[in-house]
Amino acid sequence: MSLPTGTVSWTGELVDEKRRQPVVETRTGFEGKVWDVVRDTVDLGPAGHAVRDYITHPGAAVVLALDDEERVLLVRQYRHPVGTFLFELPAGLRDADGEGPLDTAKRELHEETGYLAQTWHSLVDLYLSPGASAERVRIYLARGVRPHPDGRPTDLTGEEYGMPVLWAPLADLVRGVLAGELHNSSLAAGVLAAWAARWDGFASLRPADAAEE
């Protein structure tokens, strides 16, 4: 199908390209506990300058733990900005000094659920809201899941205090995402990616330590 008049046709590779445009000026409008709100004036070349407000973010690591019965390990957590109790995959901020994303994922799996896993793969990488936030997420597929010998930590606070943990069939989660019943973005991306990857026995997945482009 031909493109409409006035549109520009892309003829390169179907791969996202990491290439930051020059920033003429940066201002921090708000400094928060975890992230700041920044205003950049960006040089877009022939298109001129554009002002962009966005949230800085350390990124996050997310775990889709899958057992031998094709069930996924979930938590249910209150998210105040949307006023909703969401079913989510175990996850955590990548804000610990010297800790790689895989180590963050393993730590969060233990802290939030009391489990550990034997086999890890990179499942999918995401920018959750690239027009508004610099947050980058890596979702890992974890298998060979078993209870951690130390159990689940008991010193959880805030929204994590008393946070329920459950196993749910992968097929039910796919149905729930497509039905508009499950809304967490990492959950949606993770379960749909896992559903697709299972058809070749997960052979196409990247190793857990795959580089982030």
What is the domain partition of the chain in residue ranges?
Answer: 23-55, 60-207
Cα–Cα nearest to 34, from 94, 77, 113: 94
- Backbone CA torsion sign across 141, 139, 186, 117: positive
pLDDT of 62 higher than 80: yes
**25 and 43 in contact (C-beta within 8 Å)?**
no
Cα–Cα nearest to 178, from 170, 132, 119: 170
- Dump pLDDT digits (tens) for 156-191: 666 666 789 999 999 999 999 999 999 999 999 999
Mean pLDDT of the chain: 93
Question: Can you tell me the mean pLDDT for 110-127?
Answer: 96
Any idea which residues carry the catalytic annotation?
160
60-207 topology per CATH: Nucleoside Triphosphate Pyrophosphohydrolase (3.90.79)
**34 and 58 in contact (C-beta within 8 Å)?**
yes
More confident: 155 or 55: 55
pLDDT at 5: 86
With 0.75 as the threshold, say if the pTM is over it.
Answer: yes
